[in-house]
Amino acid sequence: MNVTNPTARLPAKLHRRVCLVLTEDAVLAEELLARKKLASEVAGRLSEKVLLIRPGRLDAVLDELRKMGHTPQVVGK
């Protein structure tokens, strides 16, 4: 499409009700993935700082993060 047209609607796909973990930096994301229990709840890594969580596993992820001593900010619970 012509992206220079300021009025054009942008074709996009919506992914609703996605559970994500955003980390401050890539090293922190690596640290989380190194935790076996947490890694099993991660469906994949969207980018170096964004982890995609399996549906319905939010509480397990939160518990594990808190066990690791992290204090995650939860948006939209």
Q: Which residues bind another protein (CB under 8 A)?
A: 1, 3, 9-24, 28, 32, 40, 43-47, 50, 52-56, 58, 61-62, 65, 70-77
Closer residue to another protein (CB): 10 or 34: 10
- Per DSSP, the three-state class of 47 is strand
Closer residue to another protein (CB): 34 or 71: 71
Distances (CA, A) of 41 to 1, 6, 34, 70: 37, 41, 12, 17
Closer residue to another protein (CB): 9 or 34: 9
Give the integer Cα–Cα distance in Å for 46 and 44: 6
CB of 34 to another protein, least distance (A): 14
The answer to whether the CB of 20 falls within 8 A of the CB of 57 is no
CB of 31 to another protein, least distance (A): 10
- Per DSSP, the three-state class of 76 is coil
